[in-house]
Amino acid sequence: MRGAASGAKSGIEIRELHLMEEFEDVSRLYAAIWRTDAGAGPLPAEVMRALAHAGNYVAGVYEDGRLTGASVAFFGEPVGTTLHSHITGASMGRGIGLALKLHQRQWALARGLRRITWTYDPLIRRNAHFNLVKLGARPEEYLQSFYGAMDDVINRGDESDRVLTAWDLTAPAEGTGPPDRPDRPDRPERPGRAAHGVRNLEGRPVIGPTDADTVLIDLPDDIESLRRTDPGAARAWRLAVRHTLGGLLAEGARVAGFHDRRSYVVHRTAA
């Protein structure tokens, strides 16, 4: 699949990758994004080569011939319905990540798939906003220390908790609809009646009640900076969100949206 996906900025090309030198470029790009040594990026070129050769999704974004983003995904469970997106990395602030996800969506739909899953760190606000608001994906499961100890600059010094998130491809693509639609996922229903399960109070998490139908869970302003400047506070945030969001998901609650770019909106009962 070649060309720009719907919603991509003009002047970029997104294409599937097949050559070893292309995978080596992706490996170097990932190492730069995750700030690891050049030969110790999060995914080796030879693994991408094997995945692509077996028919999985490996694609890159090019701007003026320069690789600025890439995504790697493979078929998952349930067989025949799901693509699992293992890693996506792109230059920030230019719409490249959204273009890649829309390209990945088109690729999956062309193969009869109905959903894409991936994991992300639930403490990173920009990722939560992108996944829930831009795409309309929804967290389904909290995974404690999923990848074990990680030594890249972004994750170093913290546990690798993740949430497994699913994107329903049978629903309309997010990011292009009218801004006033009634089901906007960035606005909590009945905000005045919501309990604040985790509140951001002067940069520290304060755990509150979770016995309301709707629960808000705040996130720190910048967990990546906090890991470097105040590891104790970063760990407090990790444990607070693990306890609250993880506990609610385990009980069958669902994440309905992301409010004001800072708070998960969780419904304990069907809305």
What pLDDT digit, counting tens, does each position of 144-187 carry?
988 865 555 455 556 889 999 999 999 876 553 333 333 444 45
Q: pLDDT tens, 200-255?
A: 999 999 999 999 999 999 999 999 999 889 999 999 999 999 999 999 999 999 99
User: What is the Cα–Cα distance from 135 to 212, expressed in whole angstroms?
Assistant: 27
Q: Which amino acid is at 220?
A: P
For residue 177, the model assigns a pLDDT of 35
Longest dimension (CA), the chain: 55
For residue 144, the model assigns a pLDDT of 94
- Please state the φ and ψ torsions of residue 191, each to the nearest 5 degrees: -60, -30
Residue 10 — very low, low, confident or very high, per pLDDT cuts 50/70/90? low
- Mean pLDDT, residues 22-37 taken together: 90
For residue 165, the model assigns a pLDDT of 97
Asked if residue 255 lies in contact with residue 138, where contact means CB atoms within 8 angstroms, the answer is: yes
- Please state the φ and ψ torsions of residue 196, each to the nearest 5 degrees: -100, 95
Least confident of 31-45, 47-61, 106-120, 232-246: 31-45
The pTM assigned to this predicted structure is: 0.86
Query: What's 12-168's CATH class?
Result: alpha beta
Asked if residue 132 lies in contact with residue 175, where contact means CB atoms within 8 angstroms, the answer is: no
For residue 34, the model assigns a pLDDT of 84
User: What is the Cα–Cα distance from 168 to 132, expressed in whole angstroms?
Assistant: 12
For residue 124, the model assigns a pLDDT of 95
Asked if residue 73 lies in contact with residue 32, where contact means CB atoms within 8 angstroms, the answer is: no
Q: pLDDT tens, 86-127?
A: 999 987 767 899 999 999 999 999 999 999 999 999 999 999
pLDDT exceeds cutoff 50 at 18: yes
C-alpha pair distances (Å), 142 with each of 171, 231, 241: 23, 22, 10
Buried-state track 154-172, b at ≥16 Cβ within 10 A, e below 16: bbeebbbbbbbbbbebeee
For residue 1, the model assigns a pLDDT of 57
For residue 92, the model assigns a pLDDT of 73
CA torsion 221-91-153-39 (nearest 10°) is 170
Identify the CA nearest to 265 among candidates 173, 195, 180. 195
Asked if residue 76 lies in contact with residue 117, where contact means CB atoms within 8 angstroms, the answer is: yes
Residue 196 backbone class (left: φ over 0; alpha: ψ -120 to 50; beta: rest):
beta
For residue 36, the model assigns a pLDDT of 78
Q: Where in the chain is the domain with CATH 3.40.630.30?
A: 12-168
